[in-house]
A = this chain, B = another copy of it.
Amino acid sequence: MQDAPKATLPEGGKARRVYLLLRDEITGGRFGPGAVIPGEQKLAEQFAVSRVTIRRALDGLEADGLIARRAGSGTTVIGGGQAGPAISADMTTLIPQLVEMSARTEARMLSFAYGPPPVAAARALGLTEGQKVQTAIRVRLIEGQPFSHLTTHVPEAIARHYSEGDMATTPLFRLLERSGVRVDTGHQTVSAALASPDVADALEVSVGTALLSVRRVVRDADGRGVEYLSALYRPDMFRLEMDITRVGEGGARHWEPVIAPEAESEAAPA
């Protein structure tokens, strides 16, 4: 919906790259709705390409319904374009999130196998050489639209307690707890990554799209690693939101996340 312009731009070309960049700025909010974006001539200079190329990129954006062009006047960003992400995870109120999440979304299994873990996962989980893990790659969809690409690694001994079918219906942390694991702590790293061909395909976005990356290591009460998650999210459908507040005095004055804000205050701003 957001991706794949009608008149598909050449896969490896500059026009497409410009198209992706501009789209990113529009949906990302750098150009708000109604804003007049620079003229084609100026854009051509900024991106160091010819006006023809800019033009092709704009064609794509127009086909996507993101911009409106008027000869003589200029090109403007369509208002309705940025309807905001379908899902926004509030780091501090994950409670309603999870419930809502399971209800509104479904998971599709792309790959499921037991084998040696990637080095990064092995180290994070503290596995010894030769230990196998269950590696599952899933895509999560909301209303038929894919929004996240999940790769999980679980030590074989734990993973054997549930089946492949279970993963399509039940959140992994619940499966783990059902398997007798006392899920306790986790460590998350949030970053950004590009969509590689396989991921792009699964998420139905262009190769080279910017994705939000979350990597999580989960440990049980004894500190043993029980899950290694690598998630990639479409930024146009999913965002991390958090409220922060200013606390402390003097030199120790700093920001702190708000843990439990008003219960059901659904964010959903512009």
Contacts and interface: CB of A to CB of B under 8 A. Distances in A.
Interface of A: 11-14, 17, 20-21, 24-25, 28-35, 46-49, 88, 91-92, 94-95, 97-99, 118-124, 173, 177, 183-194, 196-198, 207-213, 215, 230, 233, 235, 239-246, 248, 251-259, 267, 269-270
Contact of A254 (B98, B121, B190, B230): B98
Contact of A194 (B210, B213, B244): B210
The oligomer's copy count stands at 2
A28 B188 contact: no
B32 A119 contact: yes
Contact of A245 (B123, B186, B194, B242): B186
B20 A208 contact: yes
Given A30-B230, A32-B119, 19 more contacts: A11-B48, A12-B49, A21-B194, A24-B194, A28-B191, A30-B120, A35-B119, A46-B198, A88-B189, A91-B242, A98-B254, A120-B270, A183-B246, A191-B212, A193-B210, A193-B235, A210-B210, A257-B257, A257-B259
Contacts of A194: 20-21, 24, 208-210
A128 to B, nearest CB: 16
Contacts of A94: 254-256
Contacts of A24: 193-194, 196
26 contacts: A12-B14, A20-B194, A20-B208, A21-B194, A21-B208, A24-B193, A25-B196, A30-B118, A30-B120, A31-B118, A32-B119, A35-B119, A92-B256, A95-B248, A120-B270, A123-B270, A173-B246, A184-B246, A185-B243, A185-B245, A185-B246, A190-B242, A193-B235, A194-B208, A194-B210, A213-B235
B191 A240 contact: yes
Contacts of A97: 254
Contacts of A239: 189-191
Given A235-B192, A257-B91, A208 B208 contact: yes
